[in-house]
């Protein structure tokens, strides 16, 4: 199942590259940069696959979406988050910061989230820092309050631009205290 998902991820990314327009790439879990789509796989046991989207709807506001899924032989857990993100004014060139919030839903049990089939709210924040046009770093922390409990997702990483609209990520993510490295790809939507 894991190899088929990875093959589908590569095929989807390749197809999009053929059709995509040029724009600087963005980063991972929900892409910190605007107007980007991201895919990743984290090395939990079993692996966690994540899809994220950030789409600008106003000059300082983005609509955000992320979906993480983890499947084993007996169950499939998931975490869905839909919300908004406000970009703060930052005086440092090459740096951006944001605050985020929205609604989260967990289905079955995913790594680090004890509540199965629960919903609630999330709040978070993050930042990106460009070291050059090709390499940057990012980080975010998000607190989910689902089903009467709280869990924190912390995401840090480095991204490298592979093409004008594509970046690769190497990161480290923690779901409710259980952490693992991940690989990802982000594709700019325009």
pLDDT for 140 equals 94
pLDDT along the chain (190 residues), means of 10: 45 36 35 82 90 93 93 84 94 92 86 76 94 94 89 93 94 89 91
pLDDT for 24 equals 28
Buried b (16+ CB within 10 A) or exposed e, 114-147: ebeebebebebbbbbbbeeeeebbbbbebbbbbb
* 82's tokens: 């839909």
- Which pTM value belongs to this model? 0.79
CATH of the domain at 136: 2.40.160
pLDDT for 71 equals 84
* Cβ atoms of residues 107 and 78 within 8 Å: yes
Structural domains of the chain, count: 1
Range of the domain at 133: 2-188
């Amino acid at each position: 199942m894991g190899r088929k998902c990875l093959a589908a991820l590569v095929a989807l990314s390749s197809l999009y590259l053929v059709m995509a327009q040029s724009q600087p790439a963005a980063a991972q879990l929900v892409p910190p940069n605007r107007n980007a789509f991201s895919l990743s796989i984290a090395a939990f046991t079993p692996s966690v696959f994540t899809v994220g989207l950030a789409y600008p709807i106003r000059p300082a506001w983005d609509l955000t979406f992320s979906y993480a899924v983890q499947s084993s032989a007996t169950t499939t857990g998931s975490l869905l988050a839909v919300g908004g993100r406000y970009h703060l004014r930052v005086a440092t060139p090459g740096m951006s910061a944001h605050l985020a919030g929205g609604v989260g839903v967990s289905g079955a049990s995913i790594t680090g989230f004890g509540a199965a089939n629960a919903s609630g709210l999330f709040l978070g924040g993050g930042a990106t820092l460009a070291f050059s046009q090709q390499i940057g770093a990012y980080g975010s922390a998000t607190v989910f309050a689902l089903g009467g409990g709280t869990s924190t997702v912390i995401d840090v990483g480095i991204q490298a631009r592979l093409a004008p609209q594509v970046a690769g990520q190497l990161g480290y993510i923690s779901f409710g205290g259980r952490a693992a490295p991940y690989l990802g790809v982000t594709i700019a939507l325009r």
